[in-house]
Structure 1
Amino acid sequence: MTDTTTDSPMGAFERYLTLWVALAMIAGIGIGSVAPGLVGAIAAAEVASINLVVAVLIWAMVYPMMVSVDFGAVADVARQPKGLLVTLTVNWLIKPFTMAFFAVLFFEYIFAPFIEPADAQQYIAGLILLGAAPCTAMVFVWSQLTKGDATYTLVQVSVNDLIMVVAFAPIVAFLLGVTDIAVPWETLVLATVLYVFLPLMAGLLTRRALGSAEKVEAYTARIKPVSVIGLIVTVAILFGLQGEVILSNPFVIALIAVPILVQSYGIFALAYGAAWVLKVPHRVAAPCAMIGTSNFFELAVAVAISLFGLNSGAALATVVGVLVEVPVMLSLVAFANRTRARFPGPAG
């Protein structure tokens, strides 16, 4: 496979994503306090349990990255199957279940004295949604920062998206059922179709309409900021609705972050270690570990809103995941770059 690594820097939006999210949280809390009627009107704009305002914002987040997915590259994975094997094993056979385990461990046992049982169940649900949604968008950034093979990363993301269309809803429903949370199957499936399958189809049609790879790349670069803007506005809306809870009990944010941190570093160690044992080249090993560690938080936020509502604890948990993810992933990028010499060089 051609080595398509790149040294181009992370864009300003991605580099300071944690700052933008933090500012959106503050702005949301402020708007919720000053203009609760506005936030309430947004929350009331629902059809079939899908919030229309947030649906538009989620599409703004998801569509740009779906345009980057080239399903024609899937066949190239046969040249280096080990990296994909690690990614898929971690993403679909391990990660959702370890996240559910840590969520239950912390919120039903360790943090039980500090959290009401009903709130704990909501936070567990949000964490399960995070754990069952492997990264699709930001993994391209992490791959770039670790000098990963961009083509192979694209293959991994493409295969993940194909699997996610059919596996996300059943896995989430199973895990939520295990934790005794009622699951409206129709809403879950609808959200998966709306936020994964349809954007994928739209991205595929856009690629075909644009034609050349150069036009696709230029188009993606132009619309990429829309994704982050959609995320920031969504976070502001969520924290506008959650402002009263956060101001009355900011400690809950730190509690939600704990199992996310444990899960993130544990999954990275597992995936990165497996890639090292299998002698996967670093340009493939680093991105495959990043995909398993990072989360498709756009989907997790969307489904949490669809299933439990904009002002739910589950939605709050997924938003905390957004806040935690960027600094965690940047620390892992630094570690991966420091350990590059321990992996074999490019294969072939």
Structure 2
Amino acid sequence: MTATTDHEAEVLGRLSVLDRFLPVWIGVAMVAGLTLGRTVGGLDDALSKVEVGSVSLPIALGLLVMMYPVLAKVRYDELGHVTADRTMLVSSIVLNWVIGPALMFALAWLLLPDLPEYRTGLIIVGLARCIAMVLIWNDLACGDREAAAILVALNAVFQVVAFAALGWFYLQVLPGWLGLDTSTLHVSMWEIARSVLVFLGVPLAAGYLSRLLGERTRGRAWYETAFLPKVGPLALYGLLFTVVVLFALQGDTITSRPLDVGRIALPLLAYFALMWVGAFALGHRLRMDYPRATTLAFTAAGNNFELAIAVAIGVFGVTSGQALAGVVGPLIEVPALVGLVYVALWARRNFYPADAPNDGGRPDPTRRTA
């Protein structure tokens, strides 16, 4: 077995069973949801009896459970340290909040001109910047863990402040300027802001308080080695639960138009590839070392599908095409970004030979990981 093959096995081995086979679990959740929707009558009415805003209580709980563990992992006390590297800070802001949303807007209109609901859903995905599993992919690719955590925290705070305004701009203002059809869009900035405040603001506050109180009472080592591993899987459980419910309610749409899922996947694949390669090339051009260039690339390419799903459901409803586009997102993102982990390690060997270990690509055991 070659050293490269050894490392590929090690990369997969560092993922938990739940993470490693996440596309499979999402597929199983989809099938389970479709089956549930066909066998349980009156499910839609039952789910809508108790609502949080315009979202049924079971789905709202699933969305909040998705978001909390991710935000509990962030080291909020280190957020201010990002200003020490102005090059990375400015590059990340431009990639995440200017180029990323604009690219997804362009791809959505280019590849889904006749599917306005899915197009809108993808634009919402483009606005929801990475705060979730990007930390896993960055770590597997031997990126800078601390820089990734700081950029994730920055994105989380920025989304609370800017998501609603950007959503209004890309869904209503910009299409109007370009002469594109906006007759199917009935979105207010307040509707988006309300969803962001509930489904990002609440878990963000909970995550911040968890770390603050946990570290004060038991210390950072206990918090990160004992508490976080216990609550971490809840994010994926919440995602799978939400997928089951969404597909239970989306069954008729999905089974009648299966090719739509494939069409939603195409702009997502193009987006991941273009954002990652472009960001990595920018980092290399700016003479960042491999860990920071890799972190810049993964934080630019990753998206917060949990928030996108929450906003799509809150604004357009659980059975909307916008919600379906958000659900398809993680099904495509997981294998795409795992593949980009291998691309990153290949790039390290070819473009950063000084940063690559001499064992064919395996991570350096002496590298600081805390």
Asked if TM exceeds 0.5, the reply is yes
**CA separation of 1:15/1:43 partners in 2, compared to 1, >3 Å: closer, same or farther?**
farther
Counting only pairs closer than 5 Å after superposition, residues 166-315 of structure 1 correspond to structure 2 as 166-177=161-172, 178-179=174-175, 180=182, 181-211=185-215, 212-217=219-224, 218-315=226-323
Matching residue's letter, 2:128: A
* Aligned mates of 1:99, 1:163 — CA distance in 2: 19
Matching residue's letter, 1:135: C
Q: What's the offset of the Cα at 1:43?
A: 4.1
* Aligned mates of 2:156, 2:285 — CA distance in 1: 26
Q: Does 1:162 align with 2:157?
A: yes
Q: Does 1:105 align with 2:100?
A: no
String of CA shifts for 1:194-231, please: whole Å, max 9, x gaps. Answer: 12222212111111211211122121110111111100
Q: Secondary structure of 2:232's match?
A: helix
Q: Secondary structure of 2:101's match?
A: helix
**CA separation of 1:27/1:84 partners in 2, compared to 1, >3 Å: closer, same or farther?**
same
* Aligned mates of 1:89, 1:310 — CA distance in 2: 32
* Aligned mates of 2:250, 2:24 — CA distance in 1: 19
Q: Secondary structure of 1:84's match?
A: helix
Which residue is 1:134 aligned to? 129
Which residue is 1:124 aligned to? 119
Counting only pairs closer than 5 Å after superposition, residues 42-53 of structure 1 correspond to structure 2 as 42-53=47-58
Q: Secondary structure of 2:142's match?
A: coil
Bigger CA radius of gyration: 2
Over the residues paired in the alignment, what is the CA RMSD in angstroms?
1.8
Q: Does 1:148 align with 2:143?
A: yes
* Aligned mates of 1:335, 1:200 — CA distance in 2: 32
Compare 135-144 and 67-76 and name the one that shifted more: 67-76
Q: What's the offset of the Cα at 1:44?
A: 4.7
Q: Secondary structure of 2:42's match?
A: helix
Matching residue's letter, 1:98: L
* Aligned mates of 1:16, 1:189 — CA distance in 2: 34
* Aligned mates of 1:250, 1:205 — CA distance in 2: 43
Which residue is 2:73 aligned to? 68
String of CA shifts for 1:39-62, please: whole Å, max 9, x gaps. Answer: 442145324323322111111111
Contact 1:39 1:237 in 2 (8 A): no
**CA separation of 1:253/1:189 partners in 2, compared to 1, >3 Å: closer, same or farther?**
same
Contact 1:309 1:315 in 2 (8 A): yes
Contact 1:64 1:224 in 2 (8 A): yes
How much identity, in percent, do the aligned residues show? 33
- Structure 1 unaligned segments of length 5 or more: list them: 1-5, 113-119
Matching residue's letter, 2:64: W
* Aligned mates of 2:152, 2:80 — CA distance in 1: 13
Which residue is 1:330 aligned to? 338
Which residue is 1:3 aligned to? none
Q: What's the offset of the Cα at 1:278?
A: 0.7
Contact 2:108 2:119 in 1 (8 A): yes
* Aligned mates of 2:338, 2:192 — CA distance in 1: 31
Q: What's the offset of the Cα at 1:130?
A: 0.4
**CA separation of 1:277/1:96 partners in 2, compared to 1, >3 Å: closer, same or farther?**
same
Matching residue's letter, 1:213: R
Q: Secondary structure of 2:319's match?
A: coil
Matching residue's letter, 1:225: P
TM-score, structure 1 normalization: 0.91
Contact 1:31 1:240 in 2 (8 A): yes
Matching residue's letter, 2:198: L
Q: How many residues align?
A: 331
Which aligned runs of 4 or more in structure 1 are off by greater than 4 angstroms?
none
* Aligned mates of 1:44, 1:314 — CA distance in 2: 22
String of CA shifts for 1:88-127, please: whole Å, max 9, x gaps. Answer: 211101111111111111121xxx3xxxxxxx11111100
* Aligned mates of 2:200, 2:57 — CA distance in 1: 16
Matching residue's letter, 1:25: M
TM-score, structure 2 normalization: 0.85
Q: What's the offset of the Cα at 1:69?
A: 1.2
- Structure 2 unaligned segments of length 5 or more: list them: 1-9, 176-181, 357-370
Matching residue's letter, 1:296: N
